Structure 1
Amino acid sequence: MGHPPLEFSDCYSDSPDFRERLKCYENELEKTNKFLKDVIKDGNNVINAIKEYSLGVQKFSQTLQSFQFDFIGDTLTDDEMNIAESFREFAGLLQDVEEGRMMLVQNACDLLIKPLEKFRKEQIGFTKTRNHFESTREEMEELMKRMKGSTQICIRHSQQATMEGYLYVQEKWALGVSWIKYYCKYFKDNKQFIMMPVEQKTGTKQTTAHLTLKSCVRRKTDSTDKRFCFDIETNERCSPVLLQAISEVNRKQWMEAMDGKEPVS
């Protein structure tokens, strides 16, 4: 069964769905790596067994080829000559068969086992992946910085979210306040705001929340001990929801997507 493609834009958003797809790819690579290891191991075992068998046959052929009758008189009898000739012919046939067998074994080694081992090490092995990661990390980090520094909102197709990413949500409990990490999506067409929990608290079961946005207002810096915060009002909740973005640029992006306003002085 095929897997959905991994897009760089999904890597940037790092959504739970993307992580799940990435995990599927990792599991598939591990399964493929194990399968190739087993194929290579079993193939080498078969090749070694064939080589051992072939050596035994060739030794037998040489024994037949070198056989000679000890005789009395000047010459061998007709039966003795026929037997010796049969041994030599049979030895020659065995030698031809084993030469063909060894060519087949060598082809299997050169055209199957070695390419599979090379592919496994270079394309699937963790060492190759690590080296590739090191060689491209700086380039990707620079690209990520440019993307994070952009103040533009990526307006997507109607069936996709206008804005999505990780936000921290303030939740009040009987014993105090906590900040819970959610992966959030906002659909501007119908003002739907979806919060998917990514960190489960011990003893509680958090579920995805579907809210309808009424308004969005930037939170004043001096009104909270957290940076990059903004409030949203929704139809489903009687009090505003306090959200924290991952950066000032990210907060501006969320507020722009939600038509957010500045707080009243």
Structure 2
Amino acid sequence: MGLPPLEFSDCYLDSPQFRERLKSHETELEKTNKFIKELIKDGKSLVAAHKTLSSAKRKFAGSLNEFKFRCIGDAETDDEICIARSLQEFAAVLGNLEDERMRMIENAGEVLITPLEKFRKEQIGAAKEVKKKYDKETEKYCSVLEKHMNLSSKKKEVHLHEADNQVDQMRQHFYEVSLEYVLKVHEVQERKMFEFVEPLLAFLQGLFTFYHHGYELAKDFSDFKTQLTISIQNTRDRFEGTRSEVEALMKKMKENPHEQQTLSPYTMEGYLYIQEKRHFGTSWVKHYCTYQRDTRQITMVPFDQKSGGKVGEEEVVFLKSCIRRKTDSIEKRFCFDVELVDRSPAITMQALSEEDRRLWIEAMDGREPVYNSNKDSQSEGSAQLDSIGFSIIRKCIQAVETRGINDQGLYRIVGVNSRVQKLLSILMDPKIATEETEISTDWEIKTITSALKTYLRMLPGPLMTYQFQRSFIKAAKLESQETRIKEIHCLIHRLPEKNRQMLNMLMKHLANVAANHKQNLMTVANLGVVFGPTLLRPQEETVAAILDIKFQNIVVEIIIENHEKMFSTVPEMPQPNSQLHLSRKRSTDSKPPSCSERPLTLFHTSHSAEKV
């Protein structure tokens, strides 16, 4: 129920009912006063909490902005660039949002705290002052009235008349104060409906403005969020692909580390203990040593693996001869002596094992010299770019496009290996290859797609050749997409004719596959993941080569997306000042035979009775 109205006429009667009604108004004012006081306190706490939150968010944003991603390798993919930029984008959004929060906080004092304090002081405080005056006058009037009522009727008429006048004046003054008090009580009760509520509305409006600003930021951030989500997914997919490759390489290294050595500019390298003569005797110091046969240069770096730092200066010497140390001539095992140019006497080195000593002595043409070059070139495969090879690829493509173009996971789902090998053995039979027949519908699409991929891997070199592999990778690392396309276009037209023809056939097919990605779920990016490591197969298995797979995938994506342009016209070659052009010129000065020029041996197998 609402408060009862206070009538001015009741001020003259000053009845108990009037006093009860006035009391209810006073109680409400006191409750309002306490509530506003508590609200001001809570409002200040809220503002302080916002300031603390804003400070924490700014610190968080600052940490995001300062962190810089560093990728493995010498370049980043577009997806990695997007992900690396994401932290700065997050920081910018948070900073922008906190700027708006600070504006809201600064306005909170003006629109909420100050008006509430003003209302409490000027209105409720003023009503309290009038009440004090009213209570004081009530007490004063009642005292005079009681005193007047006790006057004796025997007093002189003049004295009684004078007393009556005094009481009348007091009564009139009391009535006036009572009227003023009632007016003030009514005024405060009415004012609180707007002067108290209006600041709260203004504060909430500030909050709504802040939240709306966040909404607008979220809308502006939406495009980058979508791009970032795609980049994260692409990067995750590449990680899943490369992780298995890296784990497989690690397993090979565990099983047979000596056969998995990477190509190195040095003939031999590794840790050796070198005997050093000191005034107090001899000591053996661990060094990391490298040796180059063509210059006979030995580099020795004293290094402590436990601390991970050098323990001395690097020394460069030149080999004169190397002699195995007899076992009975020294207490240490695995030792050999190295005679140096312009330095004597010879120094004694200790290898890590008997096998390690043998390798060092072979590399230095010691007592048992055996030329130890780095890895031989890739062994010849059982497939080649001849009419049979083109027939196999053409028949596989025809079968896929005729009856499997919409199969989900096309080229990702792998066929049974025994079936794949059986199909290949049939297709590689010269008699079958010359027949203009299609692959039988008895063969599953996944078997056919696996056969196509397997045949490409069986080539002695990748379809896009080892010679241009680094150039393709460099092209994928260029910043401008337009420049990437131009460079890759040029490189394709430098491939051997047969390589380019087969690549054209394959890319036209993959473009058709990608055009049906809504049904088969094989987008250009997915096809790049599948065919990148095959078409740009690395010459050696290393972690660096595996990490370059993501750029191999990008190269394939670009060719698929631009396949008509890539194979239709001969591009203009880049200007001589182009880094890629210089690298190409250096590579063509000592151009190795192309895949089509190498002598290849085709592995023939008898075909089964199954129809092709």
Q: TM-score, normalised by structure 1?
A: 0.49
- Would you tell me which structure has more strand in proportion to its own residues? 1
- Would you tell me which structure has more helix in proportion to its own residues? 2
